[in-house]
Structure 1
Amino acid sequence: GGLFSIDKSYFYELGAYDPGLDVWGGENMEISFNIWMCGGEIEIIPCSRVGHIFRGDNPYNFPKNRVKTVERNLARVLFYGHGYHHLLDKTEIGNLTEQIELRKKLKCKSFKWYLENVYPDLDRSVNLGEEVIMTLLRQSGASESATKYVLLLV
């Protein structure tokens, strides 16, 4: 989530980053989904340049461990914003009331809308929700055991 440019007031209008996310992991998908589904759009500007200085060490403390933290964050992002149930069974994701209310206030569209309108090139022969979410989990570094959970699109 750290390598993009966004108008500060728009970032806060979207709710900024979910304060319930721990450390990092998932915020990049959260902000992207929220932009698309809540009336915005993302532009890729080929001539733009972004720099990132990687630290030699990791200054963050993960509450449990890195993988569990990222799994929890992804479960949180995907549950409240995208209508999924049974995400990463037995993962405590915390209270989502504020995020759900904000999405209602902003009149955000569904994840189904996102798949049909933003990502229509996805292979339709697969279960859309499960395939997309499993890919995101694998790319995020979630454990192999996390990818076995069945995700149901409401």
Structure 2
Amino acid sequence: YSLVLPLCPVMAGGLFSIDKNYFFELGTYDPGLDVWGGENMELSFKVWMCGGEIEIIPCSRVGHIFRNDNPYSFPKDRMKTVERNLVRVAEVWLDEYKELFYGHGDHLIEQGLDVGNLTQQMELRKRLKCKSFKWYLENVFPDLKAPIARASGVVSSWGNLHLTL
């Protein structure tokens, strides 16, 4: 974060202010996202890649009230719902970098997961003339290293073939 250039590559979900007309111009949140999870990334990518900016305003104050009980019910379980939402975001916004998403983390996210129809979101991206995720990485978040090459398999020692990682 910089006071000189207070730009934010990805915002926190639910803690932002946006012009109502601009929000609707962007197509609001993806209506195919269930409950919550991933909407902050979806809207962040949409804003940046479709011509906008996300700024941190240092003098602003934001409050967030947490409830004792969760008022939301998830169609499956919470983790599966969030995972499904993240796959939707990856399929629409990450372009060729979605392969890194699928292989990232402690588990492999199931490719081919039913995320519903993405046609409306893909058409919205085209209609808004949004830039590529490669552009986003180069211009908005150059500090994030996201090499497209990915390796998998067993790492072994040539000197001692029974040693593996």
Q: TM-score, normalised by structure 2?
A: 0.73
- 1:83 CA displacement: 1.5
State yes or no: 1:127 paired with 2:147.
yes
> Shift in Å at residue 90 of structure 1?
3.4
Q: Does 2:26 correspond to 1:14? A: yes
Instruction: State the AA in 2 paired with 1:127.
Output: P
Partner of 1:106 in structure 2? 128
Aligned residues: 128
Which portions of structure 1, spanning 4 or more consecutive aligned residues, are displaced by more than 6 angstroms? none
Q: Which runs of 5+ in 2 are unaligned?
A: 1-12, 103-108, 151-165
Matches within 5 A, 1:1-154: 1-84=13-96, 87=102, 88=109, 89-123=111-145, 127=147
Distance in 1 (alpha carbons) for counterparts of 2:57 and 2:38: 23
* Deviations, residues 23-43 of structure 1 (Å, cap 9, x unaligned): 000001101110000000011
* Identity level (%): 71
TM-score by length of structure 1 reads 0.78
Unaligned runs of 5+ in 1: 131-154
Give the AA of the match of 1:4.
F
Shift of the 129–2 alpha-carbon distance from structure 1 to 2, 3 Å rule, reads: farther
